[in-house]
Structure 1
Amino acid sequence: MRAVGIVLAGGNSTKMKELSNKRAIAAMPVAGSYRSIDFTLSNMSNSHVQKVAVLTQYNAKSLNEHLSSSKWWDFGRKQGGLFVFTPTITYDNSWWYRGTADAIYQNLSFLKNSHEPYVIITSGDGVYKMDYNKVLEYHIQKKADITVVCKDLPAGEDASRFGILKMNEDHRIEEFEEKPMVAKSNTVSMGIYVIRRRQLIELIEKCALEGRHDFVKDILIRYKGLKRIYGFKTTGYWSNISTVESYYKTNMDFLKPEIRNFFFHQYPDIYSKVDDAPPAKYNVGSKVRNSLVSNGCIINGQVENSILFRKVFVGNNCVIKNSIILNDVYLGDNTHIENCIVESHDTIRANSYYSGDDGIKIVLEKNERYVL
């Protein structure tokens, strides 16, 4: 493909509360065995984008470990590959990334040393499937300066946490407002952009000279009347996991057969780093209904409408309903978990009761499991 990829994965969201205390949003576990960034990287690989840069910053340890080998997404090539960039103190610069445009500016040598004519910029917190070739073809057909991939949200869904845009009959963007107080439209930006490489370098360098650091506010919104910026509307499944509620909903969507079939059984595939573990074990007396249970789990109790990530131990007489249990959690006997997200590596003492009666409850317990 005639494009390089840039994945913006360095941001943090306070709306994720305690879930983002120890990991980047792009490293959030999804659907039992995946990380959020797996969907973007798989889309890049499936679209034959051979050279991809991931820009990380906030709580990057877990994400960097996940990206330690490029072979899982088939980026281990002699030409191209997967590159992970973190903020680096140099003679000329000692700043952290001050925004998305600044993150690209601090790694501008990646673009200058590339030869592909186009750049695909994406975020690392979206769950979706997409062929970026179709977006690039549309971009070339429209003779656009920048193409923004967008989607109409269902009626009733809050659009104010996204970039809101309005297009004319030719799909040229006339209005673009980032996270408004009141959304005037239900058409939102998916955080996926296509732009010519040389033009991106020029715009990023101009932003840096003017002390501007945000790609959306300082390029998309600022230049919407000067540049030919078009919207590419898609109708497929897409979810952004920047809040606790959206993260919970996204995972619960995978309990629907049509969503599982779309991501797990329809070509192209979604890839992730493989963690070797034995198959899940269901002991005598266990009951599991409409749930995703990952490898390495041991089930002794009742699990219903829930997602269990790798290496979860469910004790005797436990009840888990409508909940997400992250990696390596130990649930002591007679524990009741309902409408909750249990943080990874937690040890829940026996006879505990947690229920999210007024919303989704995040459970954090760091007990020593060997003294139970």
Structure 2
Amino acid sequence: MNSVLGMIIAFDTDNDLREITEHRTVGAVQWGGRYRIIDFMLSNMVNSGIYRVGVLMKDKYQSLIDHIGNAKDWDLSRKNSGVTLLPPYSYSKKASPLVTGEYRGKIDALAGAVDFLQKNRADYVVVADGDIVANVPLDDVIDRHIKSGADLTMVCTKKQKNSPFTTYVELNRKKEAVDIRVGDCNEGKCKHAALGIYVMSRQYLIHMLSDCVTHNCIHFEREFLTRALMDGTVAGYLFNEYAVKIEDTFDYYRSNMDMLDKDVRNEVFKRTRPILTRIKDEAPTYYGDEADVEDCLIADGCRIEGKVKNSVLFRDVVIEKGAEVNNCIIMEGGRILTEASLRHVITDRNVIIRDGRTMMGHENYPITIAKNATV
């Protein structure tokens, strides 16, 4: 799909992931045993034939750069296209007249990349957040957008929860937006939530960015979308398959636990639309004589000698004899030592839980342990 440019917002705006995003953005957070969250949007674009992608960054992006690398694992290491990393201040005021200074939000970030938008003469642009877990057929979204004649098309899902970070949408019978609200579903009248994926023409995006910057608008959902709704037509594309926008720790925990359900995994990981990630070669996982494992997702390179149930283990995790891990997410390099007991706990990378320690959270509020901590 040579006429479409992808723009991924790969920096944090509004979320509550606490310790998990202390050292990285949401898109760079490990997920599902072997992936990073940004893998979903990169894969969605590649699977839809979008091979020109800009990744907008702001801060804490070293982990993201290390993960993407030259993007060959997504077939985006190409001569005339591929991934362009767009850190802050990549474009000076001379190169981009819309740059006003430090990024205050998505509008400033997109305006700072207006030179990139102008040089890539695509007909359409897909602007997407990098915190989405979903296998979305973007090619179908683009086709629907073109046929609808709308100025902007936003991908929507059924409202799943009330959250101050969620953008709620009210659609009419023609699947056109009639109301867009952030953090307020208007007493249930807005029955859908924006997933964070928007399709529009490139010229329309550049025009709207100029208009928003001129009027000192900085919030994409509150101001950009509202102006689009007032001045034109905003269409809604209903995506009814599994989709989670990672806005808080509960979203992260729930989306990982959901993957223990085979039906959900099959809905997200499709053979015809694979979710790609950076390849790392590891030895197979070792299971000791006393290992007791039930209903888990376990990556390569682990050593398990204790009990693990209903959990997600990333690469190079060690569960020693006598240790019990139940309904937990143990990220790469985790060490759960002898007789330790964990329930509803998320450990970031390289966390060590000492002998005999007991930690218990709740499925609605799991305990989160920061990177490199020893407990």
Of the three residues 223, 227, 238, the one matched with 1:222 is 227
- Describe how 1:158-307 pairs up with structure 2 within 5 A: 158=162, 161-180=165-184, 183-184=187-188, 185-307=190-312
- Alpha carbons of structure 1 residues 365 and 165: separation in structure 2 relative to 1, 3 Å: closer
Q: Secondary structure of the equivalent of 1:224?
A: helix
- Alpha carbons of structure 1 residues 225 and 182: separation in structure 2 relative to 1, 3 Å: closer
Q: Aligned residue for 1:108?
A: 114
Q: Aligned residue for 1:31?
A: 32
Distance 1:153 1:366 in 2: 36
Of the three residues 143, 148, 151, the one matched with 1:145 is 151
Q: Secondary structure of the equivalent of 1:222?
A: helix
Q: Aligned residue for 2:142?
A: 136
Q: Aligned residue for 1:328?
A: 333
Distance 1:202 1:190 in 2: 23
Cα deviation, 1:176-196, whole Å, max 9, x if unaligned, reads 111227653231111111000
Q: Secondary structure of the equivalent of 2:136?
A: coil
- Alpha carbons of structure 1 residues 13 and 21: separation in structure 2 relative to 1, 3 Å: farther
- The total of aligned residue pairs comes to 367
CA contact (8 A) 2:347 2:369 kept: yes
- Alpha carbons of structure 1 residues 24 and 307: separation in structure 2 relative to 1, 3 Å: same
Shift of 1:48: 0.4
- Alpha carbons of structure 1 residues 181 and 189: separation in structure 2 relative to 1, 3 Å: closer
- Give unpaired runs (5+ residues) of structure 2: 94-98
Distance 2:234 2:63 in 1: 36
Shift of 1:159: 5.4
Distance 2:318 2:100 in 1: 45
Q: Aligned residue for 1:339?
A: 344
Q: Secondary structure of the equivalent of 1:295?
A: coil
Distance 1:60 1:242 in 2: 18
Deviates most, 8-17 or 32-41: 8-17
- Alpha carbons of structure 1 residues 94 and 60: separation in structure 2 relative to 1, 3 Å: farther
- Describe how 1:16-55 pairs up with structure 2 within 5 A: 16-55=17-56
Q: Aligned residue for 2:129?
A: 123
CA contact (8 A) 2:341 2:356 kept: yes
Q: Aligned residue for 1:3?
A: 4
Shift of 1:336: 0.5
One-letter amino acid of the counterpart of residue 327, structure 2: N
Q: Secondary structure of the equivalent of 1:149?
A: strand
Deviates most, 210-219 or 47-56: 210-219
CA contact (8 A) 1:174 1:225 kept: no
Q: Secondary structure of the equivalent of 1:103?
A: helix
Distance 1:136 1:91 in 2: 32
Deviates most, 192-201 or 74-83: 74-83
CA contact (8 A) 1:338 1:354 kept: yes
Shift of 1:164: 0.9
Shift of 1:38: 0.2
Shift of 1:153: 2.9
TM-score (norm 2): 0.93
Distance 1:6 1:89 in 2: 15
One-letter amino acid of the counterpart of residue 131, structure 1: P
- Alpha carbons of structure 1 residues 367 and 44: separation in structure 2 relative to 1, 3 Å: closer
Q: Secondary structure of the equivalent of 1:239?
A: strand
Deviates most, 60-69 or 354-363: 354-363
**RMSD (Å) for aligned C-alpha atoms:** 1.9
Distance 2:266 2:293 in 1: 20
Q: Secondary structure of the equivalent of 2:133?
A: strand
Distance 1:203 1:364 in 2: 40
One-letter amino acid of the counterpart of residue 148, structure 1: M
Distance 2:14 2:352 in 1: 26
One-letter amino acid of the counterpart of residue 287, structure 1: D
Shift of 1:264: 3.5
Distance 2:137 2:370 in 1: 38
TM-score (norm 1): 0.94
Distance 1:5 1:365 in 2: 31
Distance 2:195 2:296 in 1: 29
CA contact (8 A) 1:303 1:319 kept: yes
CA contact (8 A) 1:348 1:365 kept: no
Q: Secondary structure of the equivalent of 1:147?
A: strand
Distance 2:177 2:282 in 1: 49
Distance 2:70 2:204 in 1: 31
Query: How high is the sequence identity, in percent, across the aligned residues?
Result: 27
Shift of 1:94: 7.5
- Give unpaired runs (5+ residues) of structure 1: none
